[in-house]
Amino acid sequence: MSAATQSRPARGLRVSRGVMFLVLALGALAMLAPFAWLIRSALMTDAQIFINPPQWFPNPVAWENFPDALTAQPFARYFLNTMIIEAVVVTGTVLTCSLTAFSFARLRWRGRNLVFGVLLTGVMLPYAVTLIPTFVGWAALGALDTFIPLTVPAWFAGAGGGVFNIFLFRQFFLTIPYEMDEAAYIDGANPWQVFISIVMPLSKPVIVVVVIFTFIGVWNDFLGPLLYLSSSENFTLALGLATFQSAYTAQWGLLMAASLVVILPIVLLFFVLQRYFVEGVTLTGIKG
């Protein structure tokens, strides 16, 4: 076989990779365009935002949009409220969902696969179906305009996509060799000790994935706070941003600046934890 013939597959591989990278680059640009438009609008006055033809680079840069936006509404209070809910929900979700998944993946009990299958049907249940009964229940308990309806369900694996998080934990736990559990049981350990000392230390990737999913879900949750919170001092960032928009419908530069500040923590969280995120998503599908 000649050298020219041998080089054809390599040349074809390089061409296919080049096409793939080009398609991915174009897709990335399409995905980043709205974010870039948000940044340029946050640094412009209203007159610059709606100039025709539109311009991508602000001239001059309206840096004052950020302090004006953050002082127009009590965003510090909104941020504190959001972080309180985040801390309670993330902690409860990781603890209860991992414990439930440990029971399904590592313990032997009659009917566990049947129960797990029934549990998965909860993913198919629309949120709107339980919306009114849940609201009526919390109202009867006198928990409206408090953080209780937004936080307590997480401690029963019922918030932030509880069933989905249980599924992620279970799939990852199945990848851990069961022989490690058996060795611990031989040494006198109980299931709780196996969970704390063996399974959870080896499950950092999936824990990070669940933390990211839960954090983003709570951070972006608008419907929950809208239903249960009525006092402005209890508003979260998502609800406060909507209130800001209704109060300043004509000042789009301030609205874009406030929106950018709200989005940045999520972007930074993903970039800091992206390695664990990709690893956790990949490993949760290895074993069924």
pLDDT in tens, 169-204: 998 898 888 888 888 888 888 989 999 988 999 888
Is there a cis peptide before residue 126, judged by omega within 30 degrees of 0? Answer: no
What pLDDT, on a 0 to 100 scale, did the predictor assign at position 284? 54
Listed residue (166, 170, 270, 273) closest to 219, CA to CA? 270
For 1, the token pair is: 């076989």
Listed residue (88, 207, 225) closest to 154, CA to CA? 88
> Angle, to 10 degrees, between the axis of helix 162-173 and the axis of helix 75-106?
50
Helix (H, G, I), strand (E, B) or coil at 264: helix
Residues of the chain with pLDDT under 70: 1-10, 12, 158-161, 245-250, 276-288
Q: Which residue has the tokens 């409860």?
A: 92
Please give the single-letter amino acid code of residue 228. Y
Report pTM: 0.82
